[in-house]
């Protein structure tokens, strides 16, 4: 751990709902904690007893293989028991509300609820209704804080810092919780954020919270230290306001030609899964500038840190223990 043991308690939250409400110091503390957990994953016995006898429930009301697996593996690595609540098999189909369902699950002695939900604000709503920890694993178009944190972690790891970097987020900003969480986190840590995409998908209102907005990807390529390519939801491509796939690739796709006009050490990020040949050409996705798989690896360490810190805070023993 990079923090000194005499330091004051840096994390007192039992929920992680979004990055907007975190201080710069809190974010840095999560990243520092994740750094020490990342080492655990390199051991042959990839386990620490930090959450032994604790129960983590994955409540995914929207499917996401990667995020669900990442949280499950993170919890296992902390020696927690993990249980899955899959909507399709649940009594919410019988008309129960989210809160009713959650209170029932909580009554079984759950310590942490990891919630993925299609409604923005669902995690906040849940946190107000239960006594256990709530970790937001994506709520509608609102926030996806662990994605934001793992992106910050990856940038810091590869660039040595976040402050002062020029970071572009490219794609359907309007509908993206990843973009929102990245933007919040990057701003707190002092990066300069440019949002890039078709005008219909990148509202000018983002300028009011300090982001630069542009639809001229080629015009900003050369100044960027980091370019985060969002996944295009092909199912949304037929909606009005959306360009065709061909147009999108032409103006906003990252490919070899565009990469050549970037800084040589530009970091190309993507939250996955990649639409190869659409927002990201296959050779760039697999090339040396890409951090895609590293983001996945770091996601696990960040989620271990979040589960650990929230549980520690809930247990009222938020001491700065070595994991």
Phi, psi (degrees; rounded to nearest 5) at 21: -90, -5
Contact predicate 201/175, CB 8 Å? yes
- Closest approach, Cβ 191 to a second copy, in A, equals 24
Catalytic (active site) residue 66: yes
For the window 97-136, what string marks contact with a second copy as x by the rule CB under 8 A?
A: ---xx-xxxxxxx---------------------------
At 114, is the secondary structure helix, strand, or coil? strand
Catalytic (active site) residue 94: yes
Segment interacting with a second copy (CB under 8 A) among 9-17, 77-85, 238-246, 251-259: 77-85
Question: Residue ranges of the alpha helices (H) in the chain?
Answer: 24-40, 65-77, 98-107, 122-127, 145-159, 177-188, 217-220, 245-252, 256-260, 282-285, 292-314
Residue of 14, 38, 77, 116 marked active site:
116
- Enumerate residues 180-239 that contact a second copy by CB under 8 A: 234
Segment interacting with a second copy (CB under 8 A) among 17-25, 59-67, 186-194, 202-210: 59-67
Nearest to a second copy of 29, 270 (CB atom)? 270
> CB under 8 Å to 75, separation ≥6 — which residues?
51, 56, 81, 82, 112, 307
Could you give the maximum distance between any two Cα atoms of the chain, in Å? 57
CA distances from 7 to 2, 11, 189 (A): 11, 11, 20
Contact predicate 174/267, CB 8 Å? no
Nearest to a second copy of 83, 220 (CB atom)? 83
Q: Verify binding: residue 287, a second copy, rule CB under 8 A.
A: no
How far apart are the C-alpha atoms of 34 and 146, rounded to whole Å?
A: 11
- Closest approach, Cβ 169 to a second copy, in A, equals 20
CA distances from 217 to 48, 195, 295 (A): 44, 9, 23
For the window 241-280, what string marks contact with a second copy as x by the rule CB under 8 A?
A: -------------------------------xxxxx----
Question: How many residues belong to the site for a second copy (CB under 8 A)?
Answer: 51
Catalytic (active site) residue 319: no
- Contact residues toward a second copy (CB under 8 A) are 41, 43-47, 52-55, 63-66, 69-70, 72-73, 76-77, 81, 83, 85, 89-91, 94-96, 100-101, 103-109, 234, 272-276, 293-294, 296-297, 299-300, 315
Positions marked catalytic: 66-67, 94, 116, 144
């Amino acid at each position: 751990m990079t923090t000194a043991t005499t330091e004051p308690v840096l994390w007192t939250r039992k929920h992680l709902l979004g990055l907007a409400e975190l201080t710069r110091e809190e974010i840095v503390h999560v990243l520092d904690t994740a750094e020490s957990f990342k080492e655990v994953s390199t051991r042959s016995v990839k386990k620490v007893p930090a959450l032994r006898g604790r129960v983590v429930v994955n409540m995914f009301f929207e499917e996401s293989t990667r995020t669900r697996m990442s949280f499950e593996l993170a919890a296992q690595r902390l020696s927690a028991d993990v249980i899955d609540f899959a909507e399709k098999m649940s009594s919410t189909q019988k008309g129960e509300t989210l809160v009713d369902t959650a209170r029932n699950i909580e009554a079984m002695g759950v310590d942490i609820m990891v919630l993925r939900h299609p409604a923005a604000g669902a995690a906040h709503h849940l946190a107000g209704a239960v006594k256990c920890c709530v970790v937001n694993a994506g709520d509608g178009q609102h926030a996806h804080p662990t994605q934001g944190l793992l992106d910050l972690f990856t940038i810091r790891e590869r660039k040595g810092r976040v402050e002062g970097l020029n970071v572009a987020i490219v794609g359907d900003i309007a509908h993206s919780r990843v973009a929102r969480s990245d933007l919040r986190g990057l701003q707190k840590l002092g990066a300069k954020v440019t949002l890039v995409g078709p005008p219909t998908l990148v509202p000018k209102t983002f300028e009011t919270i300090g982001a630069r907005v542009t639809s001229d990807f080629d015009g900003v390529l050369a100044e960027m230290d980091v370019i985060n390519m969002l996944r295009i939801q092909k199912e949304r491509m037929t909606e009005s306001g959306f360009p065709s796939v061909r147009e999108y690739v032409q103006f906003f796709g990252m490919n070899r030609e565009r990469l050549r006009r970037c800084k040589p050490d530009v970091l190309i990020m993507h939250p996955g899964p990649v639409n190869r040949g659409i927002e990201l050409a296959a050779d760039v996705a697999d090339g040396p500038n890409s951090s895609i798989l590293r983001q996945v690896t770091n996601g696990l360490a960040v989620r271990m840190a979040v589960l650990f810190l929230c549980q520690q805070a809930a247990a009222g023993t938020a001491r700065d223990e070595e994991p």
